[in-house]
Amino acid sequence: SAQIIDGKRIASERANVLRKRVTKFVAVNGAPPALAVVLVGSDPASAIYVRRKGEQCQAVGIESIQHRLPHDTTEASLLYLIAQLNRDAGVHGMLVQLPLPAHIGADKVLAAIDPDKDVDGFHVTNAGQLALGKPRLAPCTPLGCMLLLRELGTELRGKHAVVIGRSTIVGRPMAQLLLIADCTVTIAHRHTTDLAALCRAADIVVSAVGIPALVRGDWIRPGAIVIDVGINRVPDPRSGTGATRIVGDVAFEEAVGHAGAITPVPGGVGPMTISCLLENTLQAAELIEGRLAGTLG
């Protein structure tokens, strides 16, 4: 049976290392790295994510600045806040929680963020750097998946990786990072025919779709690595009370009998995403403060 990749444990080990790096940063710069998170509206899932980001920041000593704006915030006033945060020398990293309300253009908002503070890695400049094979700030979820793969210690060079999903926040940047790691990469999406056959040829399957049990156990080649990014809420059959639970895209109980290693949901990729957000924030802070020190003396 497969090795279960414990993202929760790996993220907590990384948090211990990060805490020490943050302490060192404070000693050198006199103030902690600071992450500004902007939430527009009251989407309950987004509110939970934003709260967790704040808690995790504080746990490693990063200052968390949260801006909660009402649902009817105009695009202009959001852009104004971003411009202020861009100028604020005390803010090193910034992200706008997605999805945004429909009346606000997400592309315009993401483009307004200073690429040097873009800890989500969604700005076109950072996406472009990644596509050129020279990542600066890369998206947190795919970065977290790469860390899990590295943690396994298996050679990635020459491995055939199948990435299911081509979104700009997960699938695409995931494929770019695997390419940088010298994998042979296939990107599958909603129009892909015979996904099963593609997966059966894969050494590594990364699924980022959002459909429970899309990937079946017999699609997994014996010994392959399975990274399940999907987060899906489904009725919990063990409870008669209409309770729900979270599952991934992979039929875990089936796949665990085929895979060499597999991430659970929850407790696999999820904790690594926040871990990478914190690391991106420290990286941005080190770059910004390093440059300031350079120009000032």
Catalytically annotated residues: 53, 97, 120
Contact 40, 104 (CB under 8 A): yes
Of positions 146, 156, 164, 225, contacts ligand NAD by CB under 6 A: 164
273 touches ligand NAD by CB under 6 A: yes
Q: Give least dist CB 162 to ligand NAD, A.
A: 10
Q: Least distance in Å: CB of 100 to ligand NAD?
A: 14
Q: Does 224 bind ligand NAD (CB under 6 A)?
A: no
Q: How many chain residues bind ligand NAD (CB under 6 A)? A: 24
Q: Is residue 231 part of the contact set for ligand NAD (CB under 6 A)?
A: yes
CA–CA distance, 159 with 157 (Å, rounded to integer): 6
Pick from 93, 106, 98, 101: which is nearest to 56 by CA? 93
* Rounded-to-integer distance, Cα 130 and Cα 136, Å: 7
Q: Is 61 in the site for ligand NAD (CB under 6 A)?
A: no
Q: Which residues sit in the known binding site?
A: 165-167, 231
Tell me how far apart the 2 most distant CA atoms of the chain are, in Å.
67
> Quick one: which of 50, 109, 112, 188 contacts ligand NAD (CB under 6 A)?
188
Contacts of residue 180, Cβ cutoff 8 Å, sequence gap at least 6: 133, 135
Torsion sign over Cα 198, 210, 110, 140: negative
Rg (CA), the chain: 20
By CB under 6 A, residue 24 contacts ligand NAD? no
- H-helix or E-strand containing 244? strand 244-247
d(CA 191, CA 17): 42
What is the rounded distance in angstroms from the CA atom of residue 293 to the CA atom of residue 29?
Answer: 9
41 binds ligand NAD (CB under 6 A): no
Q: Which residues pair with 163 in a beta bridge?
A: 187, 206
Residue 209 is a binding residue for ligand NAD (CB under 6 A): yes
Known binding-site positions for NADP(+): 165-167, 231
Would you count residue 26 as binding ligand NAD (CB under 6 A)? no
Residues paired with residue 232 on neighbouring β-strands, in sequence order: 247
Binding mask 119-158 for ligand NAD (x = CB under 6 A): ----------------------x-----------------
**By the rule CB under 6 A, 267 interacts with ligand NAD:** no
Which positions lie near ligand NAD, rule CB under 6 A?
Answer: 141, 164-167, 169-171, 188-190, 192, 195, 208-211, 229-232, 269-270, 273
